Structure 1
Amino acid sequence: MKKHVIVKVFKVFLLTCVTYQAYGQDALNKLQVIDTHSDLLWQSDYQSLQGYQVQPEWTLQAFEQGESVVVKNKVPLFGWIMNERNSSSRQQYYQLLLADNLNDIKQNRGNLWNSGKVRSSESTAVVYGGNDLSPGNLYYWKVKVWDEQGNESEFSPLSCFYTGQFVEGYETTTYPLQRTDQTPKKLIKREQEYFIDFEKAAFGQLRLNLDSPVADTILIRFGEKITAEGKIDRNPGGTIRYQEYRLPLSQGTNTYQIKFRKDQRNTGQAAVLMPDYIGEVLPFRYVEIEGYDHPLHYTDVKRSMVHYPFNDNASYFHSSNEILNQVWDLSKYSIKATSFAGIYVDGDRERIPYEADALINQLCHYCVDNEFTMARASHEYLLHNATWPTEWIMQSVMMAWNDYLYTGDLRSVSAHYETLKAKTLTGLEDSNGLISTKTGKQSSDLLKSINLQRDTLRDIVDWPHSGILGLGKKEQGETDGFVFRPYNAVVNAYYYHALRLMARLAKEMERADDFVFFNTKADKLYNAYQKYFFDKERKVVRDGIGTDHSALHSNMFALAFGLVPEASKKEVVAYIHSRGMACSVYGSQFLMDALYEAGAGDYAFQLLTAETERSWYNMIRVGSTISLEAWDDKYKPNQDWNHAWGAVPANIIPRKLMGIEPLEPGWDTFRIQPQLADLEYAKIRFPTIKGYIDAAYKQSANRLEAQLSIPANTVAEIYLPLKNSRGKPVLYVDGKEYKYELSQNWIKLPDLGTGNKEIIVVY
């Protein structure tokens, strides 16, 4: 095909398949700072009253009334996004001004800090370096940048933040909870009642405008589930919610709010409680009003959804596979809907934070919204409030690394460094290099160091186990028959991963001795793992020392965490394939990571789009609009219908299927390496702290068309699939033929710079 024809076809594809962020022609050609954040918050002047966002007023009185963002760090952090231009745009210098009054800052005077023209590419984690700030004050700042070509931007629009009483050390700045009022999608009058459907479940409250000529009483029912007859299920099972209330009506027209009863379990000592300015909430989708004989209009019914501030437009995904699209929508919405407590919790049954829930929630949240503070606050909560599973303790190290990788901000790691070291569980290590909870090493000092106060450590592998939570003793649970031994292959896979990540954090902290210490232990463990757990004849991972059983979990965790030798990956992947989805929704995170890391994207895609009982589509089919705690009620009879750890595709689709992941902290360098399986087309927006990454693909047997939008101040390592071809593929970038390298089964593109790139591969 001639070059001009290729370019023409490709531009038609661009117009039909993807919409890009646009700042206008001037913005494309002129260097600009288009957004800023203070202490990782894009809305550092956020103010609300009883959960309803109000227009921010830059006065002390406004910040001290209602609920506001309050910075409690003596040394805050600043960051910004530069505009995406047609030419490469990377920051060479910046200048930041901060003042305690509007007059100075408007006159470009930083009376508390003028950084001067600083030679630096840093734009995600610039730590305050001026005179001491005071508590209970307002501060104003702005920044300008210079790029590699010497172009100078204007100063950014002004930003403002309010300081509260300073804490010693570091504390994550967070938003207050937000309310969003919603009207029903359906309101149907039946003989004895009104039936109301909000289309999606949400944690919230209900207000009604009702008119009654006389004092009367009506019955109101709430539920997450309906029967086959279209009525609210009054006995939904498990922890699927149903409640009913009798509401006395006063004469005349009045507005009523239903006051939900507190649940004894999810408002207990370990639960995260709702703040007073919000009050108690209930997850519900459906409402029935019985005994009300007067006209009821859509505007008379308001559900007040409670959630952490969330930008619905920060991400999108759409593809040629409708099931995948529905799975994405379910998963993305689940992250917003389950943010109602301001800290990641395990659904409505307990409302307790757990490390495993939080890790999955963290990765999903990063992929669907440009928001980092809820993940960090949840992670730090768990650092001080550990839970009992052995593996989950080590997930705190994983969360710390993710936090740094996605934000570029090392303050949280620095503040909690010693606790993170303890969370690697080196205190459980034996002379063979392996750790065990069964060899007498669970000392009180060790448990204290990891902030585990009410339990001892117990290996979990996956959840639930057989014989508990409504499962019979002969029902397998979600562990694929895993044989628990004192030395556990899954636990030690986590240990290896935690050691490697802790070594990387030590390096970033310039702790050379710790860097060597943790890497040395990881090297020893790798060798021990091959000796004790890897069956060299069958080329699979055994569950533990003293058993030949090989569960899915032993193999998928070893593969995900880099413990399977390259020469044996094909056999391990084949064994994993043979086991199917023999894990829980929690375990699926690591199954999918393992498959994509091993290049088994086609099989991973089959699992993402499966219609079996053990699939994400089944969550939709049974009627939930928020991800479930288990694949189906039968696999966890006490499950709830609002569990974010079931929303794994919210991070797997962007990170693995579309292949967008940070390689260096703060997205300085990131990778684009899609594994599209048989999708005809797919498009995505991925929010990052450096700006939006947009990608769109259209593929056929002998052709791949792509458009990528690479944020300013980043470097993208781009890999496109090398399909079976008789000849050498031809690569075009912006209509020009380009040279490239081959990297195994991938076409490795040269550094294309930033901005919008049009790419075609002809196989």
Structure 2
Amino acid sequence: MKNIILFTICFFAILSSYSQTNDHIQLENSFFKPKKVVKIKNGHYFLDFGKAYFGTIEVTSTQTQSDSLIIHLGEKLISENKIDRKPGATIRYRKSVLPNLKANTPTNVSIKAYKRNTTGDAIMLPDSVGVIIPFRYAEVENLNIPIDNIEFKQKALHAKFNDDASYFSSSNPTMDSIWSLCKHTIKATTFTGYYVDGDRERIPYEADAYINQLSHYSVDSLYTMARRTNAYFINHPTWPTEWLLHTVLMFYTDYMYTGDLKPLEDHYDNLKLKTLMDLERPDGLISSKSPNLTKDIIKKLGFKKPNTKIKDIIDWPPAQKDTGWKLATAEGERDGYEIVDVNTAINAFYYKNMVLMSKIAKALHKPDDAALFSKKAKQVKQTINNTFLDSERGIYIDGEGSKHASLHGNMLPLAFDLVPEEHIASVTKFIKSRGMACSVYGAQYLLEGLYKYDEERYANHLISDTIGDRNWWNMIKVGSTMAMEAWDVKYKPNTDWNHAWGTAPLNAITRYLWGIQPKTPGFKIAQIKPKMGDLTFSKIKTPTQHGIILGNYEKTSAQSSTFTITIPDGMTAEFSIPKPFKKAYLNNKKVKRKVNSVALKSGESIIELVN
């Protein structure tokens, strides 16, 4: 029962002030009727719209009410059918008064703005939109006309989004619920036309945007918002060292999904700066403490204030002095990481930047630069393993001079393919011993490394874990319908309930569990490298710019499984035969014994695997 009214909002004024791309974002208002209406007492009703969206309430009545209506909007309940008026953290609640309700006149409820997300560096909404907040619930008081004569609708603002472009289901209902939570998060958080960090600030941050991008590209083939956000960061970088080092990752991801070289061409020199290669010392490692980090470099990076301090963040939250939180809480998402001047985590990101810049330079026909970046990547990898890898323990320490080993210091080298083959087993064993000792942001790289190196059963377990509160199930359990900024309020006391950087399971399931990624730029050839782990069946629908990829998996016996893959016209795919299968049949024809992958043409292909 959803009515859609499309309207195009032109952001040229905003774009001019930010010197960004002039890509056009089409926003939509969707209207949702309540899933549940409960009479509390005369004139007082509770409404549940099922999911939180950013927006307001539209009220239409067949009768006039001269007395004011009191309307409460919120994300969280304090008890059954009662909105929490003091939800804490950055969980939203607002009380509004609607005077003089006129008959047969759709009326939007006015909401008081939050100063922090409507001033300063926040992405501003056009005046025509008005003030909106994320909410799922409403309470209406002082209603003096029959409720049957009045209609309340949740008026949700979001970017154009194809709900039918993707789906996922499996033999694990918890995993399915979490994937759906993340997909809704991606749609609902598009309300500004940029990837923002959540409702508390509504500011783009590189790490947030990268995870948002990966998840958005996994469920829809509309790439404008990501590209627009990427362009924003050219002149609006943020201060964490690793956030800067996400810039190249975002631009390269867009290139692989779209095949469009223009953003790389337009911003190539800035991307080189964002790798922080100017901070390199002779052995190839970088440090935010480098004397090379001058005011001139700060300015070239895009910072408006020359005294901006770039700091290693490792994981959220930042240091105790920046937060005022107890030390145990402040270090809770870092697994006790010892932040020294030359860090393993920072240099793992730097290595990844060098690898990708070599590919970018090659794509742009810059052979000298491609060779230079490739040479740097080899040097950085060797130095990282010589400096940070404790060969006796077979794990990485946190940085130069440190003796401490953390989850972050090991999951990032694993995710970025830095670990020598002989130490993969020891590194993965150590990672598994740490559990979810990272934030929802760090979980992106934890899951990537685990799936890439055949720990898919453990990765599946982390995604679908329901024990304790350091998991995505806790987000559902506490009542959120979007991914949260942190595992729980107690781990980040100002956390919000609408943060797309918490959607790692969505893109990890699509890109690693199912293994669907572009093998060549523009998705002309897809890579399908499934790692199903303990799932007994699964279905997926994944969009590309050429059309939809469909996948169906069934474990037909203890020793055999079947994949049915449909590739759209104009595309082909490379399907990697997962371990431990020894025999494979493609459309009833036996595949040669030592072949590790098979080529799939457009249309439907059936791959039968036998151990």
TM bin, normalised by shorter chain, reads over 0.9
CA contact (8 A) 1:627 1:642 kept: yes
Distance 1:253 1:715 in 2: 55
Equivalent position of 2:326 in the other structure: 472
Q: Is the 8 A contact 1:710 1:754 kept in 2?
A: yes
SS at match of 2:299: helix
Give structure 2 stretches of 5+ with no counterpart. none
User: Are 1:232 and 2:83 matched, yes or no?
Assistant: yes
- Structure 2 match to 1:77: none
How many Å apart are 1:403 and its aligned residue? 0.7
Residue 737 (structure 1) aligned with residue 594 (structure 2): no
Where do residues 100-115 of structure 1 align in structure 2 (5 Å cutoff)? Answer: none
Q: 1:579 aligns with which of 434, 446, 449?
A: 434
Matched, 1:296 2:151: no
Q: What corresponds to 1:616 in structure 2?
A: 472
Measured after TM superposition, the shift of residue 272 of structure 1 is 0.2
Alpha-carbon offset, residue 380 of structure 1: 0.8
The equivalent position to 1:557 in structure 2, one of 412, 422, 436, is: 412
Contact 2:63 2:149 in 1 (8 A): no
Counterpart Cα distance in 2 of 1:356 and 1:318: 28
Q: CA deviation at 1:250?
A: 4.8
Q: Distance in 1 between matches of 2:105 and 2:40?
A: 23
Query: Secondary structure at 2:79's aligned position in 1?
Result: coil
Q: Counterparts of 1:602 and 1:575 in 2: how far apart (Å)?
A: 16
Matched, 1:422 2:375: no
1:678 is matched with 534
Quickly say closer, same or farther: Cα 1:741–1:413, change in 2 above 3 A: farther
1:387 aligns with 2:230: no
Name the CA distance, whole Å, in 2 between partners of 1:576 and 1:299: 56
Q: Does 1:185 align with 2:38?
A: no
Q: CA deviation at 1:752?
A: 3.3
Letter in 2 for 1:461: I
Residues of 1 paired with 2:397 and 2:114: CA distance? 43
- 1:462 alignment partner in structure 2: 315
The aligned residue for residue 578 of structure 2 is 721
Shift of 1:284: 0.5
Which residue number in structure 2 is paired with residue 762 of structure 1?
610
* 2:524 aligned residue (668, 672, 675): 668
Aligned position for 1:3: none
The residue number in structure 1 matching 2:5 is 52
Q: Secondary structure at the match of 1:278?
A: coil
* Maintained 8 Å contact 2:21/2:231: no
Residue 277 of structure 1 and its aligned partner are, at CA, apart by 3.0
Note closer, same or farther for the CA distance 1:229–1:549 as it changes in structure 2 (3 Å cut): same
In the alignment, the residues of structure 2 paired with residue 504 and residue 258 of structure 1 have an alpha-carbon distance, to the nearest angstrom, of: 51
Q: Distance in 2 between matches of 1:602 and 1:507?
A: 37
Distance (Å, rounded) in 2 between the aligned partners of 1:570 and 1:285:
45
Displacement after TM superposition at 1:254 (Å): 4.5
Q: Which letter does structure 2 place at the counterpart of 1:604?
A: A
SS at match of 1:259: coil
User: Cα offset for 1:176?
Assistant: 2.6
Tell me the equivalent position of 1:103: none
Q: Which amino acid aligns with 1:280?
A: V
Amino acid at match of 2:27: L
- Aligned pairs for 1:143-292 (under 5 A) are 171=21, 173-192=23-42, 193-210=44-61, 215-250=66-101, 254-292=105-143
2:567 partner amino acid: I
Q: CA RMSD in A?
A: 2.2
Alpha-carbon separation, structure 2, partners of 1:297 and 1:693: 45
The Cα shift of 1:246 comes to 2.0
Whether the 8 Å contact between 1:442 and 1:456 is mirrored in structure 2 is no
- 1:383 deviates by 1.6
Amino acid at match of 2:597: K
Q: Kindly state the Cα deviation for residue 213 of structure 1 after the two structures are TM-superposed.
A: 6.1
Structure 1 unpaired stretches of 5+: 1-50, 55-65, 71-164
The answer to whether the Cα contact below 8 Å between 1:187 and 1:298 also exists between their aligned partners in 2 is no
Q: Aligned partners of 2:592, 2:426: CA distance in 1, in Å?
A: 31
Give the Cα separation in 1 of the matches to 2:487 and 2:185.
15
Give the C-alpha shift of residue 535 in structure 1: 0.5
Q: Whole-Å Cα distance in 2 between the matches of residues 674 and 507 of structure 1?
A: 29
Cα offsets for 1:148-175 (capped at 9, x unmatched): xxxxxxxxxxxxxxxxx99xx9945222
**Against the structure 1 CA distance between its residues 198 and 251, is the aligned structure 2 distance closer, same or farther, given a 3 Å change threshold?**
closer
* Partners of 2:62 and 2:149 within 8 A in 1: no
- Aligned to 1:569, the other structure's residue is in SS state helix
Match of 2:448 among 586, 593, 596: 593
For residues 675-714 of structure 1, give each alpha carbon's deviation from its aligned partner in whole angstroms, at most 9, with x where no partner exists. Answer: 1111111000110112111010000311111210012222
AA matched with 1:688: T
Tell me which amino acid in the other structure corresponds to 1:652.
A
Which segment drifts farther, 699-708 or 484-493?
699-708
Distance 1:356 1:620, change over 3 A: same
Shift of 1:741: 4.4
Query: Which amino acid in structure 1 is aligned with residue 606 of structure 2?
Result: E
* Paired position in structure 1 for 2:189: 338
For residue 230 of structure 1, report the CA deviation from its aligned partner.
2.9
Partner SS for 1:627: coil
- Residue 343 of structure 2 corresponds to 488
Q: Does residue 651 of the first structure (1) align with residue 499 of the second (2)?
A: no
Q: What does residue range 365-384 of structure 1 map to in structure 2 within 5 Å?
A: 365-384=216-235
Query: What is the 5 A alignment of 1:627-638?
Result: 627-638=483-494
| Counterpart residue number, 1:403 | 254
Secondary structure at the counterpart of residue 416 of structure 1: helix
Alignment-mate amino acid for residue 716 of structure 1: A
1:175 and 1:217 map into 2 onto residues whose CA distance is: 37
1:575/1:617 Cα in 2 relative to 1: closer, same or farther (>3 Å)?
A: same
Q: Which amino acid aligns with 1:225?
A: K
Give, in angstroms, the shift of residue 256 of structure 1.
2.4
Q: Is the 8 A contact 2:20 2:231 kept in 1?
A: no
Please give the alpha-carbon distance, in whole angstroms, between the structure 1 residues aligned to 2:479 and 2:38.
Answer: 19
Hey, what's the Cα distance between the residues in 1 that align with 2:90 and 2:10? 34
Q: Give the deviation of 1:466 after TM superposition.
A: 5.5
Paired with 1:712 and 1:384, the residues of 2 have a C-alpha distance of 39
Q: Identity of aligned pairs, percent? A: 41
Q: Provide the residue aligned with 1:506 in structure 2.
A: 361
Separation in structure 2 between the aligned mates of residue 693 and residue 299 of structure 1, nearest angstrom: 44
Instruction: Count the aligned residue pairs.
Output: 599
- What SS is found at the alignment partner of 1:374? helix
Per-residue CA shift, 1:697-737, capped at 9, x if unaligned? Answer: 0003111112100122223111132337xxx53x3333x23
Q: Does structure 1 conserve the Cα–Cα contact (< 8 Å) formed by 2:20 and 2:228? A: no
